[in-house]
Every structure is written in C-alpha cells, then in structure tokens.
Amino acid sequence: MADLSLQHTAIPGLLRLTLPVHGDARGWFKEAWQREKMTALGLPDFGPVQANQSFNADRGTTRGLHAEPWDKLVSVAAGRIFGAWVDLRPGPGFGRSVSFECGPETAVFVPRGVANGFQSLAPDTVYTYLVNDHWSPAARSSYAYVNLADEQVAVPWPIPLAEAIVSDADRTHPRLRDVTGVPPRTTVVLGANGQLGRALRALLPGAVALTRDDLDLGDPAAVAGYDWRGVATIVNAAAYTAVDAAETNAGRAACWATNVTAVARLVEIARRHRIHLVQPSSEYVFDGTRRSHPEDEAPAPLGAYGQSKAAGDALVATLGDRYHIVRTSWVFGDGRNFVRTMEGLARSGRPARVVADQTGRLTYAPDLAAAIVHLLFVQAPAGVYNVTNSGPVQSWADIAADVFELCGRDRGDVTPISTEDYVAGRAGVAPRPRNSTLDLDKLAATGFEPVPARRRLAEYLA
C-alpha cells in the first residue's frame, strides 16, 4: 500500500494524489478527502461545498471535456478510468494536456479553467468529485468546452471515440482553435473614487472598480445580489473617515455601518466564495502611547472611528489565510487631504497654526496601493501589515513647514501649537493618538521598501 503523496503535472495547479487504499477479503477503504493531510502536502484548501457522483454502466463511456468555473477534486469509487485534462486558461499553457489512468488509488485536483474528461475502462464505474461552488443554471454560462476528438489536443483515448459511448452534446463541442477559454478570476476595488481607490485603479487597470453608486455596501440585498463567482480578490478601499463627525450620534451610526456592518457582509461574501479580502486599516486603532506600533500590538482605540476600524479588523481576521489587513496613517493623494490644505494656505500667502505634539509618517496613496499589489503578488502570508512611507518621524507642524518650504514660503510661517490649543473652543473634536508611527520591519521582510515621505511630498507638490 502506497503512502499518501502529491505530484505536480505539466499543467500548473493540476495535482495528482496517490491515496492509500486499505484492503482485505471484504473489500477496501480509502480517505478520498482528508483536509489536514492533503493540505499539508500542498493541495489548496479549496473549501468543497458539493459532492457529485457519475455512474457509468458500460465500458467506454466517455465524458468531457468540460472546464467549470470552480475547483474540484476527482477520484474513482469503483472501476477504472482514463482521465484527460486540458488547460483552457488564457496564457502560454493554453491547450496543454495531461492524461493518465486512474483507479481508487488516485485523486486529481483540477483547478478552475482546466477542462476535465474521462473514459470508463470497466463496467459499473463510479466517478466522484468534490467542488467548491454550488452548481446553478447561471453557472453554465461560465463553462468552456473543447472537443474530445480535437486534433491539437490529441488525447490518446484507449477506446477509440468511434467505438465509445459519447453524448451528442459532447460530440459537438468546439475545436481548440475556436475556444476562448476561461478568464482568470478578477480583482474588485471598492471605494474606487477615494484617494486609495484611484491609486489602485491606476495599478490594476484590469480590476473591476466599483463606487458607492455601483454597489452600495450599506444595502444587504445589493451586496448579496452582486455576482461574486468570478472574483479572486476584494480590496475594500471604501471607509468612513470623518474622524470628528464620528463622535456625533448620527456620525457614530454611519461610521459603524460602513466600517463594521458593511465589512461583516464582505467577510461573509469572502468566506462563501473563497475570496481574498484586503482591508485597509488605521493607526487610530491604537492609543498612541508607544513610540512605534508593531502589527501585533493590541488595539486600544480612543474614539468612535478607531473603535470601528478595530472591530472591522477583528472580523476580517476570521478569514484564516485569505486576508491582508493593511494598516496605514496620514494618507495623501488624489483628493482632499492635509497636504492639499497646507498647500492652499501656502500658495495663498496665509500663515498656518498646526499641531506639533502628534507625530507619525505620511503615506502617499500610490505607494499604499503599490504595497497592497506587492503583498498580493508575492503571496505574503495572511495577516496585518503596516504601510507608510519611510523617513524620519515628524509632527503635523513639521510636515506643514515642509509644504510651505516646497511652495516657496518661509517655514516660520507655520506656528506650532499643542493639541490642547487646537481643540480649545472647538466642539466634537475626536481624540487622536499622540504617536501614529507604525513599525515597517514586517513589510520590508516581504521585499517592499517604502520611498521616503519627503521625496513623495516634493513630487506631489511639483
């Protein structure tokens, strides 16, 4: 009896498993699906939700070649088959085929977009497969097919197709030259009109960019009704960020609805459809008492906004290995932000009074977007990653003085003030962490080196 083992094939992602079959005079037993053992060998944790069986009464029954919009794990429960697989995913491997004989001792993991076919080599053959999406009539529109007799693929069927039992539908599938293939799963960017959303759209031109008008995350029916089947990754750049307004009764409710309730809906969507969720977060989840905040620091938010972000992060972290929480601070980019406000004062000749006892680092939105794309590209382990620009820790007053200087004004035109002076006479000002500096070592360990903030500030103002 062979040990459980996994072998790669000539088609990327198509995996062949050898299964231990325990037999005696009564018959045999095998573990057709054993999540812990198989994933330890390298099988994707693909989350099957439906089990199917195909009974084939006669030798020579031939089915396929079908590529479905889900992953599946196939094996033989009785008899033997000759299996054939053809890569119908766009790219250099399109049309590549693999074939071999399978009995109860073999299982095959078939990734989305790879066509599957088989021919029974014995009567009363039972072919079984687990899939990670529920079949529906609508799903059939996402299938791709290639003809069993295609001359380019040239599957060496043991029983000639002229002598095989083949359905009329399978006999009329298109030749490979006429097959468009199964497109890769897409990335969806939510909050596509914000500073981060716009930067992501520039780096991910093939992504589906959705604004609130396209998909209202506050509408449960709209979220549930969106077609998530072909989505691989969601980057949720939608957020409530009005920190002071979040301290009002109406603002607190709106903040929680966007940053927690809507995130909970996305988490369930991601769980159900095996989607990777990227959730930007904020240094406001901390109280600012540490000089530098590492990723594993326990949240201690001071205000309603920070509390909502910490709650949203906790929900996203339940997704196991399918999430990245990207924590950032002091974002500036294409939109309203502190740097633009200071630039407006500087260019209009007016002075500025700016808080000098809150410190941290700026984050340029395109660099934040680039870090997110990097984490996805290198398949960084799931978890929390801090992302800001690099360089010295500064106060808001320091940054304002930099802006004035870069605009040709005197740095002395920026008057440093205390937080107490800033809030004096103002109602509804949210508490802010005094220290917003985020530790960047974990990000650097993935191979991403942030650009110094001063350089990005100069480029931005130029």
Give catalytic residue positions. 66, 129
Nearest partner of 68 among 138, 127, 168, judged by Cα: 138
Residue with tokens 């007799």: 149
Indicate the residue type of 102: C
Quote the CA–CA distance of 7 and 307 in Å, as a whole number: 47
Nearest partner of 385 among 454, 323, 321, 338, judged by Cα: 323
DSSP one-letter code for 196: H
Residues paired with 190 in a beta bridge = 210, 236
Query: Token pair for residue 371?
Result: 């870090």
Quote the CA–CA distance of 32 and 332 in Å, as a whole number: 52
Quote the CA–CA distance of 215 and 210 in Å, as a whole number: 6
Are the C-beta atoms of residues 221 and 230 closer than 8 Å to each other?
no
Are the C-beta atoms of residues 118 and 33 closer than 8 Å to each other?
no
Contacts of 69 (CB under 8 A, 6+ apart): 112, 113, 133, 139, 142, 143, 182, 229, 230
